Amino acid sequence: MTTRRGLFVAPFDGLADPRVVGDLAADAEEAGWDGFFVWDHLQYGDRVAAIADPWTCCAAIALRTERLLLGPMVTPLPRRRPQVLARQAASLSVLSGERLVLGLGLGDDWVGEFSAFGDEPDPGVRGRMLDEGLGVLTGLLAGEPVDHVGEHYSARQARFVPAPRVPIWLAGRFGNRAPLRRAASYDGFFVIGLDDPGDLDTVAGDLAAHDPAPGFDLVVDLRTDQDPAPWLDRGASWVLTRVGPYDLDLDDVRRVVRTGPR
């Protein structure tokens, strides 16, 4: 199995500038990283003041690099319109030369990120919105006719020109069964909240029961001080090094990026 290393970067405060993110991505490509993924948040508590838009950051990454995979990690689909997201993803896939990976999930309202703006605060409802929105989104990306009138989204006799291939990774917390089942139907599972490499045995076993397609990615993220080797040995196809979310010093971040994957 091919194993890859990426960066999982919070574009907050000292990194809340798409130009800085683009510079870091160029450094990352030169240092040998395989991917550069950015968090998607509107607010992140009192310790974070400035936050950059992830799609603008991804465009900067696409223009500053040639090889890196990139994408938002993760975008809460329930606070977005799937038809608008489909257009954004298709355009970014073209701009990047088909290097976009679309990370999607429920999102979290732990700092009122949904409720503060009138978005849906109930995770159960957001789960249903995610499933419904995925159907609309993937149909439009594939160029299929979509005629959907649902509880949360509508797309009446809609059809887009097919987009370049856009892999979709679904995110979920370790131990939650619904995100794992959902992810098995797509291209990857970004597992949040793992405590030990041995937890991957449980995840891999549960995924196997749902028969994911060949090439399915199992993705984890680690702090900068954690050794990725045990996680790669346990079957992770991607190990992301987490940069952020707090007290981001640009010089320190540059050192992590330029050191390259260990």
Number of domains in the chain: 1
Q: One digit per residue, pLDDT tens: the chain, 262 residues? A: 578 999 999 999 999 999 999 999 999 999 999 999 999 999 999 999 999 999 999 999 999 999 999 999 999 999 999 999 999 999 999 999 999 999 999 999 999 999 999 999 999 999 999 999 999 999 999 999 999 999 999 999 999 999 999 999 999 999 999 999 999 999 999 999 998 999 999 999 999 999 999 999 999 999 999 999 999 889 899 999 999 999 999 999 999 999 999 8
Q: Distance between CA 27 and CA 10 in Å, rounded?
A: 16
3-state secondary structure of 173: strand
CATH at residue 141: 3.20.20.30
Where does residue 98 fall: left (phi above 0), alpha (psi -120 to 50 degrees), or beta otherwise?
Answer: left
Q: Distance between CA 95 and CA 254 in Å, rounded?
A: 25
In eight-state DSSP terms, residue 78 is G
Range of 160's domain? 4-259
Indicate yes or no: pTM above 0.85: yes
